[in-house]
Amino acid sequence: MASRTSGMNPVVTLLLQRIGIGFVLIIAISFLLFVGVEMLPGDFARNFLGQSATPEAVANIRKELGLDEPLLSRYLGWLGGMLTGDFGHSWANKASVNEQLFKRLANTLFLATTAALFAVPISVGLGMVAVFFRNKLPDHVINILSLAAISMPEFFIGYLIIFAFALLWPIGDGPPIIPSSPLLSLANVQLIFLPALTLVVVVLAAMMRMTRAAILNIMESAYIETAELKGLNMMTIIRKHAAPNAISPIINVVALNLAYLVVGVIVVEVIFAYPGMGQYFVDAVKVRDMPVVQACGVVFAGVYIVLNMLADVGAILANPRLMHPK
């Protein structure tokens, strides 16, 4: 209704709306991670110093870290800095967060993207194979294996892979894995083979199971029966009738599973001692270095939201009902 009155192409309106929601979401999350977390019981300064710290030491450190200023003004200052690309200073070593963050973010994106480039086509392909052989042997085998895979914790998969492929039959490098610069090189791609493989296994099963469900849903629609009763062969049915309608749900499946990738990459970095943002994040949590924790949290959440937003946009563009309104 609103789109009609604005006189703009409704798809454009819809896209702008999605992008707007994405930005609002990032701001809301930054608020939650900063203000919400500070409102939890417990005192940052005391946590940071440990329970045995004297009150004077706590008061000193509060002043030093600027914790005595009002919460809202600190949040706005932090938000302003973040929007201009300044994440403040670490409490632990007083160094600028930026420097570490951006270098490590690049490493993490390198690892995660490489994994995604393999995981997405393989899982969509396997999902299709499972549908094609529905209720036959390959479907059952894929079902059982994927059930096993989603039940295994990431670190178990990781150490199994290290145990088997870095030690017993060495075909890749084990921890620590430290990429050399420049990042985008064939040598580095080879280097991250095992961590990327771990990530692929972590994401693959869930993504494949959801792809299978999404395609099955489409194969059961009445228009597939219509196509069958037109005398089309299976390949034509899949190519002309199933595939165009499956793009949108598959994009959604992929987007949903990016969450596993984001979570998985943190654990994988710790397993392989890979200098990415995940490890930076976990180390900061251990010493309660809040500026680093919050910066990492917002960046991870932000990346995830942006990816979801892109997926939303893709799903809209692939949906004929939205692309060709009445």
Nearer to another protein (CB atom), residue 182 or residue 231: 231
What is the closest distance, in whole angstroms, from the C-beta atom of residue 124 to another protein in the complex?
Answer: 18
What is the closest distance, in whole angstroms, from the C-beta atom of residue 280 to another protein in the complex?
Answer: 11
Nearer to another protein (CB atom), residue 146 or residue 188: 146
What is the closest distance, in whole angstroms, from the C-beta atom of residue 180 to another protein in the complex?
Answer: 22
Q: What is the 3-state secondary structure (H, E, C) of the chain?
A: CHHHHHCCCHHHHHHHHHHHHHHHHHHHHHHHHHHHHHCCCCCHHHHHHCCCCCHHHHHHHHHHHCCCCCHHHHHHHHHHHHHCCCCCECCCCCCEHHHHHHHHHHHHHHHHHHHHHHHHHHHHHHHHHHHHCCCCHHHHHHHHHHHHHHHCCHHHHHHHHHHHHHHHCCCCCCCCCCCCCCCCCHHHHHHCHHHHHHHHHHHHHHHHHHHHHHHHHHHCCHHHHHHHHCCCCHHHHHHHHHHHHHHHHHHHHHHHHHHHHHHHHHHHHHHCCCCCHHHHHHHHHHHCCHHHHHHHHHHHHHHHHHHHHHHHHHHHHCCHHHHCCC
Nearer to another protein (CB atom), residue 184 or residue 225: 225
Nearer to another protein (CB atom), residue 189 or residue 213: 213
Nearer to another protein (CB atom), residue 185 or residue 239: 239
Nearer to another protein (CB atom), residue 79 or residue 189: 79
What is the closest distance, in whole angstroms, from the C-beta atom of residue 184 to another protein in the complex?
Answer: 26
What is the closest distance, in whole angstroms, from the C-beta atom of residue 196 to another protein in the complex?
Answer: 19
Which residue type does 96 have? Answer: S
Q: Is the peptide bond before 121 cis (omega within 30 degrees of 0)?
A: no
User: Apex CA 236: angle with CA 232 and CA 240, to 5°?
Assistant: 115
What is the closest distance, in whole angstroms, from the C-beta atom of residue 171 to another protein in the complex?
Answer: 12
What is the closest distance, in whole angstroms, from the C-beta atom of residue 185 to another protein in the complex?
Answer: 26
Nearer to another protein (CB atom), residue 4 or residue 183: 4
Distant-in-sequence, close-in-space partners of 95: CB < 8 Å, separation ≥ 6: 89
Nearer to another protein (CB atom), residue 18 or residue 189: 18
What is the closest distance, in whole angstroms, from the C-beta atom of residue 270 to another protein in the complex?
Answer: 6
